A and B are shown apart, each in its own frame.
Chain A
Amino acid sequence: MRDVAIIGSGVTKFGELWEKSLADLVAEAGISAIMDAGIDGTDIDAMYIGGMSAGRFVGQEHLGALAAEVSGLSELHIPSTRVEAACASGGLALHSGYLAVASGMYDTVIVGGAEKMTDVAGKEATNILASAADREWEAFFGATFPGLYALLARYHMHKYGTTPEQLAAVAVKNHHNGSMNPKAQYRREITIEDVLNSTMVADPLHLLDCSPITDGAASAVITSVEKAKEYTDDIIKIKASAQASDSISLAGRSRFDALPATIEAAKRAYKQAGIEPSDIDFAEVHDCFTIAEIMAIEDLGFFKKGEGGKAAEEGLTALDGEIPINTSGGLKSKGHPVGATGIAQIHELLLQLRGKADKRQIEKAEIGLAHNVGGSGGTAVIHILEAI
Chain B
Amino acid sequence: MGIARYWREIPQRYNLIGTKCGSCGRVYFPPKAICPVCRRKSIGKMEEYKLKGTGTVETYTIIYTPPPHFEGEEPYAIALIKMDEGCYLMGEIVDCDFEDIHIGMKVEACFRRIEEDGTRGAIQYGYKFKKAE
Contacts and interface: CB of A to CB of B under 8 A. Distances in A.
Interface stretch (A27-35, A140-148, A228-236): A140-148
Contact of A151 (B70, B73, B78): B78
Interface string B69-82: 11101001011100
Contacts of B103: 154-155, 158
Q: Which of B63, B91, B103, B126 has the most CB of A within 10 A?
A: B63
Contact of B59 (A136, A138, A154): A154
Contacts of A251: 80, 87-90
Interface in B31-77: 58-71, 73, 76
B64 A200 contact: yes
Contacts of A153: 61
Nearest to B9: A136
Interface stretch (A55-63, A120-128, A162-170, A264-272): A120-128
A138 B90 contact: yes
A152 interface: yes
Given A144-B63, A203-B61, A251-B88, A151 B68 contact: no
Given A151-B60, A151-B61, A249 B90 contact: yes
A194 B42 CA distance: 53
A199 B126 CA distance: 30
Contact of A202 (B64, B70, B80): B64
Contacts of B22: none
Contacts of B114: 140-142
Contacts of A146: 65
A202 B65 contact: yes
B67 A130 contact: yes
Interface residues of B, number: 34
Contacts of A158: 59, 103
B59 A152 contact: yes
A256 interface: yes
Given A126-B65, A144-B66, A200-B62, 17 more contacts: A137-B30, A141-B78, A141-B90, A142-B67, A142-B69, A142-B92, A147-B63, A151-B60, A151-B79, A152-B59, A154-B60, A154-B61, A205-B61, A250-B80, A251-B88, A252-B88, A253-B88
Interface of B: 1, 9, 30, 58-71, 73, 76, 78-80, 87-92, 103, 114-115, 126-128
29 contacts: A123-B67, A123-B71, A136-B9, A137-B90, A140-B1, A140-B126, A141-B78, A141-B114, A141-B126, A142-B66, A142-B69, A143-B78, A143-B90, A144-B66, A151-B59, A151-B60, A151-B80, A155-B59, A158-B103, A199-B64, A201-B65, A202-B65, A203-B61, A205-B61, A250-B88, A251-B80, A251-B88, A253-B88, A256-B80
